[in-house]
Structure 1
């Protein structure tokens, strides 16, 4: 300002003075201040002034919408709106600030337009996440006889980077070829990226292979394409080919490699070697990868010694601690964000809430709820859902419902959180009733809603409701997603209709691992071990790798069939070939298998060599085998061990009572019954229900919903869908 004032005090106001202000705009940090000074000296800004002003505002300090409106007003006041390129710059400015409606209105009011104007508006809608608006504008551009150029196509292609718009993406590709647009590197890169985001990797590879003028962006695009589709080996191989071709990696190259879940230490070494360790984006990606792969302490150490502190890195570290259940460390990092004046956002708060699974940490969860209220984050749908899930997790149903009913706008994800919470809390009848309320309020369910309700059917043993939900899926053409199909198979197997479960399974074209696991568990439950083994082989033929749940189903099948050799073989394969550490459930299966075959020495030896502390399920499996084999001495030894370990499980008393009854020791049976009564159990707390009555019988039944059935009104609502 002093420079401008001095200049004006010593010179007369001429056209050259306006040029002086133009030169100030080019390097100004606060261009609006210079513009106001120009007006104060009664200079008359021209179209070049406004063009420079808009350009410098885009790359200078943040500009508020109010200031942009002021520029627009001055532009109209002085009649500069007749210049196409000035209006186009202002449209771009509005779009950069996310003011899409103002940009479109300005575009509609423009007396003259050119291809650049159309491109700016299309690109703006694309960058602001409005793909359908951008495509609609492209059609209107053609109707108004404007010829699209390469920039138009490049601006449109990112809009089509999803499965829903792959057809439009191909059409735009074809249009570009028919229009004779030369395939420059920028256009080819955009095409390769678009096809990769649509999981059409073959098309990306073909375009990349045909490119004659590859640049660093081209290589980065292909490395990113492999990374996005989970092909780590191909991403690394492409990176090596890039180095062989003499291209130097950029920060984007490193971030693409890191997003492919590469070994963080290896990439870290190369980042240091090529001098990119001081790039903030690269270091943030590296911290996130360390945290994601469980190397939380390394991530925290790297973050500590890097000068730039950002919320993304801390969120990744906090999320990693939370997943491990280390809420104390997560809370410590959360406090660090406050000390650094980094305002925690909804994602950070939710990452902590999801990790609060231990009842001992419930008070910490309440503290975070308090922080959310104080900071206003509880109004965010993600945070509210995280709190609802947390309260349901600890059976604090009233608190969860209070949050739910206080929400002014209930999105589908919120309804799903409460329905899922009810099911997890064992209140499936209430979940069904809430589903009916959800439908009456016009909120349509999705696959997650249906999957949660199907899990509730397993709790209720209510096949009729499950069939009703299946009909809803078919009638409303709900996509049979992996988890929906899996839940449907699980429901039918647990409600006694394995034949229906098989029909659902074989109608799924490409079942995921969870779906295979569900049908394997179903076959194991029904004693069809050969079918379970066949599915185990077929899922590997499909290219899937079995996980712990797969082997749990296979081992259960071996246990039910008494296949000792096969069971021990699968147990060995699980550990040695697939490197999976057995859980307590796996040990319980193999111990029960050995015990039922009378191999008690081997079973006890296996328990003694376990890498984790055996729990009640493992000891109970051995005690159950003792009951089958009438091994009284070992059974009594196990009972004493369980008693001293303070396992308060009535099932152990029942097993010992049955063991004594088998060998005719009735006095001991009475003694065990008395001990069970003194411990607070009567052996009659278990209930198994499978509903086989007709709909007519059910409607006439006045059973309370909490007893496993639904009331008449809920039934009527369900049957309407």
Structure 2
């Protein structure tokens, strides 16, 4: 630095001395520490009044005798007043009182102060004045540029140092490697690595740590691990901590645990940096026992600071051990905001919102600061119906603290109000958002629409979002697809997904093929599923559920088998869907195998899986196993109870069915629509209107009368009890009857001979946009048969195939035969049977046989009876009907033959019975 520069810096700093009196006092204090009061007085006087810093009343020999720059530099370094302006004043003072050209320590210290004050321009100029810089000078500049994020300058300074023949030390390598990491310059980093190896610094712990970091961030974790294992000597805890931390950050949690074990076997003592990282790995791997072991080792090592204790609280909280988590939290001597947030989040995870809010209240009372993570946790705790008052209070606090500006907080507010059901408040928070370009806010609003099944608003928001140039992320797409039931719009969204490149995302792919499943397009759904590159558990569960729920149980089982071949462990959702498929197919043995698999996974007594097992065993006809599984369940939910109730009813065990239903009511088990439908089905078998009326009263009490499945069961029950008026009343209570509901009332009308009402209900069903199925047409044709509507019957028979592409079955043809036979047109019925496109079965010939008995047609009855006995040799009714026809016609010899053959076969006619 030339004299002009000296003078320039001195004049600037002297002009600032009057405004920076505290620094002048600091310098005075430093000089007092040198025990030279007279010199201190001269220094302060000259600092204030001398116009020329080069005119000093102190001789050089006095300066070296009484002046100690080391004390001033040391005190300034730790004074807490280090900034660019104060550093310039100190620089000017040292120029005036000290020969910096001869003191490399003072110059290096000044350069360091300028670097820490982020004034790299002056630092570089000062560095250039050093005639012969030492290694410290170079290191200060390299690290200074690195700390001030001027990474290219750091690299340039390192290259310049190397060019001038200076040998770098561990600090030089550490700083330049840090710059290489920041710049993502792996080629330059490898060149530095070569110098490290060449100059023998590979075993240095500081350099090792930087090298591991560089290998991981600029290459990949595997290369970093290979370097750690092969090149590094691993002779310091910092290196172990670095590689373990990088393993956890890269999701290599098993590797992190293995490295931790190696570290302990190598007798390296883990510290307070090691334990939080390894506890995070235990949480990710759901290794509770290992986590407890790490907790014990942390106590043994004496590394229980606030960070380790917080990680331990978080460990127990994430595993749902809230009593232990709270005990550890209570023992903490020092708690920070992270500790409080961890325990609050733990109780929230266990759905204990009240305790979480009480903890937050306690946190506020002691004056503990809160951050955005705390606020988002508390807002999530308030996201329950009936907690609108608490939600508004926390919202007010968010506004008061100014945290509303945080995007995550605002998004959580939108989600909270959506879950409470206050969609209007969600909209209000959304409209008040200034940063509408943030994708997270849009995702929250779309999720709000999805939670409240507002597909129209979701599509509108998505369109506005695209119009404003905001690119939807995977969360936006998944929320939109979750409520989309229109194939046309879904296909358009699929096109956008392909265009935007989100199709490779597992969650997007899962939502997409789930949408196709809901729209009934199973082939398209499976095609999307196959294209998903990385299939997680949710993807497999969704596809298997799609097959099981849409009538493809065999494909669901095949997919489950493929999933196991790929060594993917199924979750409870997958097991439930697979058990449902086994129940639909009646595969008892396969269901037992899956039961064993669920037991090995520890899910054998899970409430939801247990309910699916009860349902599977019930539908497969194994009531004993269904009952055993039911008894093993610690908590018996409505689904398990309903499955067993329905199974008892189907087996005719009416007493057991009602007894179980009674136990449910006594034990306050939630009775849902499925349970009510099952017990109503049982009541219909008794044909007891008094029991049915009591059940109907209970349905009214619990408010399930509008449910379509309950309403349909009530209609069927009243129909079998002979009360068509009650059928109509029960049907009218249903808010939105589905196909099953409409079919139930049509069949009820048909069974009671009210053909006109049945046909009227059918036309009304079509006007509601509901298409009939094969069962509906059985009811329609039966109504026509019992009302003698021949022309109408043939019209509806033709409509099945022409309008709805439903191929008539034997039951439909039997209705036509019954209609013609009831009308006395037996020969037309015979001709119709002979010209049917399907081979007539015993039901059709039996229908004609019954009509022949009524009308006394011996010859045709004999033919029909012969056909029935050929098709169903064990049908006693056919023998009896033919015998009665012969008796009515006086053909007693035939009667004797028929009864003789009946006795020879050992068949007996069951006696009739009546409830009356």
Q: Kindly indicate whether residue 650 of structure 2 is the aligned counterpart of residue 424 of structure 1.
A: yes
Quickly say closer, same or farther: Cα 1:391–1:55, change in 2 above 3 A: closer
Contact 1:420 1:452 in 2 (8 A): yes
Local SS of the residue matching 1:453: helix
Q: Following TM superposition, by how much is the alpha carbon of 1:177 offset from its aligned partner in structure 2, in angstroms?
A: 5.7
- Which residue of 474, 487, 499 corresponds with 1:273? 499
The separation in 2 between residues aligned to 1:308 and 1:41, in whole angstroms, is 40
- Which residue of 787, 804, 821 corresponds with 1:561? 787
- Which residue of 67, 72, 80 corresponds with 2:305? 80
The separation in 1 between residues aligned to 2:605 and 2:818, in whole angstroms, is 51
Paired residue for 1:446?
671
Quickly say closer, same or farther: Cα 1:160–1:43, change in 2 above 3 A: closer
Quickly say closer, same or farther: Cα 1:434–1:9, change in 2 above 3 A: closer
The separation in 2 between residues aligned to 1:62 and 1:394, in whole angstroms, is 36
Paired residue for 1:104?
326
The separation in 1 between residues aligned to 2:886 and 2:353, in whole angstroms, is 73
Contact 2:554 2:585 in 1 (8 A): no
Q: Kindly indicate whether residue 205 of structure 2 is the aligned counterpart of residue 7 of structure 1.
A: yes
Q: Following TM superposition, by how much is the alpha carbon of 1:558 offset from its aligned partner in structure 2, in angstroms?
A: 4.2
Contact 1:446 1:478 in 2 (8 A): no
The separation in 2 between residues aligned to 1:611 and 1:243, in whole angstroms, is 56
CA-atom RMSD in angstroms: 5.5
Contact 2:869 2:878 in 1 (8 A): no
Local SS of the residue matching 2:504: coil
The separation in 2 between residues aligned to 1:546 and 1:301, in whole angstroms, is 29
Q: Following TM superposition, by how much is the alpha carbon of 1:423 offset from its aligned partner in structure 2, in angstroms?
A: 0.9
TM-score by length of 2: 0.58
Q: Residues 311-364 of structure 1, C-alpha deviation per residue, up to 9 Å, x if partnerless? A: 544445555666688776655544444433333455444434433458884444
- Which residue of 95, 105, 110 corresponds with 2:317? 95
Quickly say closer, same or farther: Cα 1:511–1:611, change in 2 above 3 A: same
Q: Following TM superposition, by how much is the alpha carbon of 1:427 offset from its aligned partner in structure 2, in angstroms?
A: 1.5
Paired residue for 2:391?
172
Matches within 5 A, 1:314-463: 314-316=540-542, 318=544, 332-356=558-582, 361-368=587-594, 378-405=604-631, 413-435=639-661, 442=667, 444=669, 446-447=671-672, 448-463=674-689
Matches within 5 A, 1:436-585: 442=667, 444=669, 446-447=671-672, 448-470=674-696, 477=702, 480=705, 482=707, 483-501=709-727, 514-515=740-741, 517-529=743-755, 532=758, 553=779, 555-564=781-790, 585=811
Quickly say closer, same or farther: Cα 1:124–1:59, change in 2 above 3 A: closer
Asked which structure has the greater RCO (Cα within 8 Å, sep 6+), the reply is: 1
Q: Following TM superposition, by how much is the alpha carbon of 1:458 offset from its aligned partner in structure 2, in angstroms?
A: 1.5
Q: Following TM superposition, by how much is the alpha carbon of 1:106 offset from its aligned partner in structure 2, in angstroms?
A: 4.0
Q: Following TM superposition, by how much is the alpha carbon of 1:122 offset from its aligned partner in structure 2, in angstroms?
A: 3.6
Quickly say closer, same or farther: Cα 1:8–1:415, change in 2 above 3 A: same
Q: Following TM superposition, by how much is the alpha carbon of 1:428 offset from its aligned partner in structure 2, in angstroms?
A: 1.2
Q: Which is further off, 665-674 or 87-96?
A: 665-674
The separation in 2 between residues aligned to 1:652 and 1:501, in whole angstroms, is 34
Local SS of the residue matching 2:652: coil
Q: Following TM superposition, by how much is the alpha carbon of 1:509 offset from its aligned partner in structure 2, in angstroms?
A: 6.0
Q: Residues 280-313 of structure 1, C-alpha deviation per residue, up to 9 Å, x if partnerless? A: 3334445556667776676666666765455544
Quickly say closer, same or farther: Cα 1:57–1:450, change in 2 above 3 A: closer
- Which residue of 238, 250, 253 corresponds with 2:473? 250
Q: Following TM superposition, by how much is the alpha carbon of 1:457 offset from its aligned partner in structure 2, in angstroms?
A: 1.7
Quickly say closer, same or farther: Cα 1:629–1:323, change in 2 above 3 A: farther
- 5+ long unaligned stretches in structure 2: 1-196, 210-235, 249-254
The separation in 2 between residues aligned to 1:408 and 1:59, in whole angstroms, is 27
Contact 1:173 1:191 in 2 (8 A): no
The separation in 2 between residues aligned to 1:606 and 1:316, in whole angstroms, is 48
Contact 2:486 2:519 in 1 (8 A): no
Quickly say closer, same or farther: Cα 1:143–1:338, change in 2 above 3 A: same
Q: Following TM superposition, by how much is the alpha carbon of 1:535 offset from its aligned partner in structure 2, in angstroms?
A: 5.5
Contact 1:556 1:589 in 2 (8 A): yes
- 5+ long unaligned stretches in structure 1: 12-16, 691-721
Q: Following TM superposition, by how much is the alpha carbon of 1:414 offset from its aligned partner in structure 2, in angstroms?
A: 3.8
The structure number with the bigger radius of gyration is 2
The separation in 1 between residues aligned to 2:885 and 2:519, in whole angstroms, is 48
Paired residue for 1:711?
none
Matches within 5 A, 1:87-236: 91-109=313-331, 118-135=340-357, 137=359, 154-159=376-381, 165-169=384-388, 172-173=391-392, 176=395, 180=399, 182=404, 186-187=408-409, 189-194=411-416, 213=436, 215-224=438-447
The separation in 1 between residues aligned to 2:642 and 2:883, in whole angstroms, is 44
Paired residue for 1:714?
none
Contact 1:350 1:386 in 2 (8 A): yes
Q: Following TM superposition, by how much is the alpha carbon of 1:115 offset from its aligned partner in structure 2, in angstroms?
A: 6.6
Contact 1:523 1:557 in 2 (8 A): yes
Q: How many pairs are equivalent?
A: 673
Paired residue for 1:14?
none
The separation in 1 between residues aligned to 2:455 and 2:802, in whole angstroms, is 24
Quickly say closer, same or farther: Cα 1:355–1:604, change in 2 above 3 A: farther
Q: Which is further off, 350-359 or 660-669?
A: 660-669
Paired residue for 2:151?
none
TM-score by length of 1: 0.71
